[in-house]
Amino acid sequence: MAESNKYEVQVTRDVKVPMRDGVLLSADIYRPKGEEAFPSIIVRTPYGKTSDVIHNNGCFFAENGYSVMYMDVRGRGDSDGVFVPYRNDGIDGYDAIEWMAAQPWSTGKVGTLGGSYLGRIQWLTALTHPPSLKTMVPLVTPSDPFVEWPTGLPNTQHICWTYMTSGRVMQNVDVVNWNEVYEHLPFIDMDEKAGRRSEQWREEISHPYLDEWWKHICYQDKFDQIDLPVLHISGWYDDEQIGTPLNFIGMTRGNGKGNGEDYKERDARPYQRLLMGPWPHQLNRSTKIGQLDFGPSALIDMNQYQLRWFDHWLKGIENGVNEEPPVDIFIMGDNEWRQESNWPLARTKWTSFYFHSIGKANSRFGDGVLLEKAPSGVTPEEGAKGKADFDQYLYDPANPVPFITEMVSSQIGGPDDYSSVERRDDVLVYTTAALSDDVEVTGPVKAELFGSTDALDTDFMVKLIDVWPNGYAQRLTDGMVRGRFRNGMDSPELLEPGKIYKFEVDCWNTAHVFKKGHKIRVEVASSAFPKYDRNLNTGAELGVTTEMKVANQTIYHDEMHPSSIILPIIPR
């Protein structure tokens, strides 16, 4: 070793690694110089293995005593074969791990690392049970189909990702007018509007509910088949955030067996760790997202954090990883880190905040109120004064409610100011009084809407907002339900016009303190464009039509239909 206690690094480019079907995948290998064997870390990517970030990370882990493989997935970069997202990555991952473990400069113990696409394929690989795989570090990991985008269609901005990963090299997304592309109908033709036809895009749209084609690449229903220690990492403003807490919950409640000798008959539940920071999909790059700065502690040394994990699970170093609380979360508002023993937090006080109005909650200038008190019936006197126990608005797909975001798919939304969007009459707004004390909301957020429509199918969106004293309406988290999928993504059923339904809306997770003087606000609308595709309200087959219908929407908040948002309040 060098005097700095770091190993000198040697890099070998474009190593051809054979898969079981004879296809050769290209890998760059970073490892300490010499003949000594070291544990291995594998990162498999569709985004190219030649960036400065990859080179620096490869050198970091090699300097610290690891042999590291960065591999182009099948059909991307310098690898042979055809790129079909996720379809080959499980068995290719198995073959890459076992090839790496068999090299003379590997101890035979392998960990995997990577974010987004690179995170999800770690789970698909784990399900193939490579014997040499000992631990995983998946970051900002996408969920199973339709968990993040429960519309039956890819999210609108997925066409940008599909375009970017077309062919073998990264395509330039900055030369496309994405706003025009997203507005194009029918949805299935957006690829041609972008200028590059994609059979993958069209295949996905031809499967508008959870069928066997999609189930082939599901993993979140199989945690009982995985017994690995896993370090789960994401950010509160990651646009695929929902997957990481779900995976942590799934693994702490699951109990897989038989994934290699070291873990045979071992219960993996105690060996999970969750890290959630104040970050977007591009993790840990800045203390700021948009206009908000989360303070100097928002950034951590991510390489060192991951190194401690690998040192324990691949080198057997007793560095305290398994003696610390398993949950590290950043509490926004207070802007500080906190360790917890579980997720959701055991001390959570699940609290319903109910919608109230006198029938005109439209826009932030309306009369919508958010109270812990459940609604009661309208008295005759109140009825005579015009009080109503419901609110109505018109949803026109030709004029959808905007979701504030950059147009490319690298990050969808953030802690943006929705005060201008809340001027619209097709947005219902319910707000508490100014808070007399700080209120912490940390955990999963759910909404229960009682609603009806005159359409055969429509959407309802719910957004949780922190209203600052200066009027800044900070988006925290949101979610949606598509009417025809109210009973599940594998059970589409159109709505009966005029019938009142109870819609349950998963609004994902947050960890945030509403400060004294701020207000808690909920928005309800029927579009969030372009985050979600527009429901055209006709009940027709999804993605292939252009006909639109304006829908008359009603949200109820009476004694029998108490619409609410359920917040995970943490006692201070």
Secondary structure element (H or E) that encloses residue 508, with its range: strand 501-514
Q: Is 312 a catalytic residue?
A: no
C-alpha–C-alpha distance, residues 414 and 236, integer Å: 9
Indicate the pairing of strand 519-525 with strand 459-467: antiparallel
Residue 363 backbone class (left: φ over 0; alpha: ψ -120 to 50; beta: rest): left
Q: Of the listed 116, 234, 363, 564, which one is catalytic? A: 116
Spell out the residues 6+ positions from residue 215 whose beta carbon is closer than 8 angstroms to its own. Answer: none
Are the beta carbons of 43 and 62 closer than 8 angstroms?
no
Handedness of CA 464, 468, 469, 471 (dihedral sign): negative
Q: Of the listed 281, 312, 512, 561, which one is catalytic? A: 281
Report the chain's terminal Cα–Cα distance, integer Å: 50
Residue 176's alpha-carbon distances to 205, 331, 352, 563, in angstroms, are 21, 38, 44, 41
Structure tokens that stand for 111 in this block: 């960990």
User: The tokens 């700021």 sit on which residue?
Assistant: 288
Structure tokens that stand for 326 in this block: 């398993």
C-alpha–C-alpha distance, residues 529 and 401, integer Å: 6
What are the strands, taking DSSP E only, across 192-334? 230-237, 272-280, 288-289, 292-293, 327-331
Q: Is 281 a catalytic residue?
A: yes
Other CB atoms within 10 A of residue 569 CB? 18
Task: State CA 390 to chain mean position distance.
Answer: 32
Structure tokens that stand for 561 in this block: 């239909």
Q: Which amino acid is at 387?
A: K
Q: What is the DSSP letter of 339?
A: E
Strand partners, 42: 69, 112
Are the beta carbons of 9 and 62 closer than 8 angstroms?
yes
C-alpha–C-alpha distance, residues 201 and 394, integer Å: 31
Are the beta carbons of 58 and 13 closer than 8 angstroms?
no
Q: Of the listed 28, 72, 191, 238, which one is catalytic? A: 238
Strand partners, 474: 417, 466
C-alpha–C-alpha distance, residues 543 and 434, integer Å: 43
C-alpha–C-alpha distance, residues 94 and 132, integer Å: 9
Closest by Cα among 182, 157, 145, 202 to 397: 182
Backbone angles phi, psi at 460, to 5 degrees: -135, 130
Positions annotated as catalytic residues are: 116, 238, 281
